[in-house]
Amino acid sequence: MASVTGADRPRKKIQRKRLPVAPYFVGLILVLALLWVAAIAGSGWKFPTPKLGLDLQGGLSMTLSAYQQGTEEPPAPETMEQARQIIENRVNSTGVSEPEVYVEGSENIVVNVAGNDIDEEALRAVGAPAELRFRIVTNSVADTSALEEQLAEQETPTEEPTDGASETPTAESTETPAGDASEAPTDEAAEETSEGSGQAPTTEDTAATLDEVWAKVGPDAAAAAQALTAAPDEATSALLEPFGALKPEEVALLPATVQFYLPQITCETLDSRPPGAVQQPDIEVTACSAPEAAAADDPSLTFQYKYLLQPATVLGSDVTSADVGTDQANLNQFVVNVQFSTEGAEKWSALTTENLQSQVAIVLDNEVVSAPTIQEVSSNSTQISGEFTAAEANQLADQLNFGSLPTNFVVETVNEVTATLGVDQLKAGMIAMVLGLILVFLYCMVYYRFMGFVVLGSLIVATAVLYPTVALLGSQIGLTLTLAGIAGFVVSIGITADSFIVYFERIKEEMAGGRSARSAVPRAWVRARRTVLSAAAVSMLSAVVLYILAIGPVRAFAFSLGLSTLVDIMVVFLFTHPIAEFLSRGNLLNKPSLSGLHTKTAPAAAGEAAAKG
């Protein structure tokens, strides 16, 4: 009997488990449906549109410059970064989504917000120091200089204010619960204040500047001002006229009593002092209230109160939280409820105990928000009222919750940014994206023939996933689409095409070895997916590092690049591979003229392998 050789033995046919493609397509359809429904719902059941950034729809750009009185040294980088974070939190609390807040140079912070309905005054307020002080009122007087100017503009300079204006408090009629003019600082105290214990800073450079202010007004006016302990008479007022020509920066250096008693130093000038002019807590200061209506029938007629205030013992740092409420006596009046820390509660209890029936001024930055009379002793909380609107009350509560800025800032510029250039660049970017898609498609059609339609379908699916995702993120978390973000999506076209090419080339190599498309596709996928995932991991790592370390437009580029990479992985796994697997079950991919997957040596190699078998 002849022996049976290995060649004569019957071979056992190995059955490969085929990939069920239907669940992948069903999963992709569910993902697309979920994204589009969520995006439409987030847009108010309208067709979703991405939220455009400053360069595409316009908005406001504000530059804040650090101001440190008495020194020319710029703030430390840590201080600027802390200030940037606080300002960004404040901008976010105003309802503005995805603002750009970044440090520029060593002294500037740039705030860019997109939109046509931005409140410029609210934007300016985010740069306020938000230094809260509780100070007992020593004296107060009504400053009617603004009211007199308003009446003069109405061509009634000699007529007395009528109706509500006749009730405007004057220097003689103003009540001073904490004491009258006789209790003001004496000549000795005024002289001590003029040497730097009042508003004048204590550094040598600023002391010299204070001397220059005294020299500017003249020795007679300087002596008369420092001797004041009450409102000056007519003869003294004439001598004090040079003080009316001082700049707000110069007025800020004067002692508090001089700022208070001189009628030539108006609330308009005091309100224009540099940020932090009344910030130092352990000195006496002068500050003004917000304008109040002088006539019920004419809101344009306003006046202000000028306050002489004692050193502060309760500060904003003693506040742990603040929220908005309504006044129990007037539900239409908004108030800010303040909760103190343990140490702050002790200070507040001592302040209210020692100053019952006295006025306590609540000072925010350079302005007296309100000056209520202390009616009872309280400890862990209080209310701040000041004729607030809802927006103003929320703004104050946010400022107190986020804390004061570590340094003072002045608004250098506020520019309105138009979207004309951005729209032109957007059109150019969209044209570049369309041209890129066309070129990728044409290349794949020439090189892979029918498989080029698989590439086109994959890119369309990726677009169908990206668009509602960007629109949904814009409506839910305020993601804005900028030119840099569009650039990231354009770049991602090449990254996505790389995944297809890696996969198709693997199939091509397998088929060049003599395998049919039915056998080559699953073998190629096992090898290609590792390469695709490795390349995607590198892209994601680059995007994450860029997003963490970069600022401004570069972060938008990094975010769009990372998002596109995730979508690319999903499309390759849920669409490109399943559709290739589905096509491999027919004869289409086995025809080189249609698929382009065979090399010229493939048929020969296949025949040689068959002969050996």
Q: Is residue 532 a part of any domain in this protein?
A: yes
Spatial distance between the Cα atoms of 162 and 297, rounded to a whole number of angstroms: 10
Average pLDDT, the chain: 77
Residue 552, pLDDT score: 63
Strand partners, 309: 137, 285
Residue 294 and residue 404 in one domain = yes
Lowest mean pLDDT among 57-66, 457-466, 475-484: 475-484
C-beta of residue 451 within 8 angstroms of C-beta of residue 504: yes
Scanning 287-367, the segments in alpha helix (DSSP H) are 342-354
Residue 283 and residue 177 in one domain = yes
Residue 348 and residue 244 in one domain = yes
Residue 484 and residue 348 in one domain = no
Q: Specify the number of domains making up the chain.
A: 3
Number of helices (H), then strands (E), belonging to the chain: the values are: 22, 16
Domain boundary (104, 126, 148) is at 126
CA torsion, ordered 278, 368, 242, 172, to nearest 10 deg: -140
Domain boundary (75, 98, 126) is at 126
Read off the pLDDT of residues 485-502 as tens digits, 9 standing for 90 and up. 877 887 777 777 778 788
Residue 167, pLDDT score: 40
β-strand pairing of 132-143 with 360-364 = antiparallel
Residue 192 and residue 148 in one domain = yes
* Tokens found for residue 202: 């204590």
Residue 189 and residue 101 in one domain = no
Residue 136, pLDDT score: 94
Q: Please check the confidence at residue 285 and state whether its pLDDT lies above 90.
A: yes
**Residue keyed to tokens 């406001």:** 60
Residue 348 and residue 256 in one domain = yes
- What confidence category does residue 97 fall into, taking pLDDT thresholds of 50, 70 and 90? low
Spatial distance between the Cα atoms of 478 and 480, rounded to a whole number of angstroms: 6
Residue 372 and residue 502 in one domain = no
What would the mean pLDDT of 281-292 be, rounded to a whole number?
Answer: 89
Spatial distance between the Cα atoms of 296 and 308, rounded to a whole number of angstroms: 27
Proportion of the chain above pLDDT 90, given as a percent: 9
Proportion of the chain above pLDDT 70, given as a percent: 80
Residue 451 and residue 588 in one domain = yes
Residue 34, pLDDT score: 92
Task: Give burial (CB, 10 Å; 0-12/13-18/19+) of 116.
Answer: exposed
Strand partners, 61: 112, 415
Q: What is the CATH number of the domain that holds 122?
A: 3.30.70.3400
Residue 331 and residue 374 in one domain = yes
| Type of residue at 184 | A
| Type of residue at 580 | A
Residue 340 and residue 473 in one domain = no
Q: Please check the confidence at residue 227 and state whether its pLDDT lies above 80.
A: yes
Q: For residue 453, give its domain range.
A: 18-52+419-612
Q: Is residue 12 a part of any domain in this protein?
A: no
Spatial distance between the Cα atoms of 289 and 385, rounded to a whole number of angstroms: 12
Residue 178 and residue 199 in one domain = yes
**Quick count: other Cβ atoms within 10 Å of Cβ 572?**
24
Read off the pLDDT of residues 324-342 as tens digits, 9 standing for 90 and up. 888 777 777 888 888 898 9
Residue 172, pLDDT score: 33
Q: What is the CATH number of the domain that holds 199?
A: 3.30.1360.200
3-state SS assignment for residue 393? helix
CB burial readout 99-110, b (16+ within 10 A) else e: bbbbbeeebbbb
Q: Please check the confidence at residue 96 and state whether its pLDDT lies above 70.
A: no
Q: Is residue 6 a part of any domain in this protein?
A: no
Ranges 146-150, 370-374, 432-436, 518-522, most confident: 370-374
Read off the pLDDT of residues 153-202 as tens digits, 9 standing for 90 and up. 776 544 444 444 434 333 333 333 333 333 333 333 333 333 333 343 43
What would the mean pLDDT of 238-243 be, rounded to a whole number?
Answer: 90
Lowest mean pLDDT among 159-163, 398-402, 514-518: 159-163
Residue 168, pLDDT score: 37
Of 480 and 162, the one with more pLDDT: 480
C-beta of residue 369 within 8 angstroms of C-beta of residue 396: yes
Residue 411, pLDDT score: 85
Of 137 and 184, the one with more pLDDT: 137
C-beta of residue 151 within 8 angstroms of C-beta of residue 168: no
Its pTM stands at 0.55
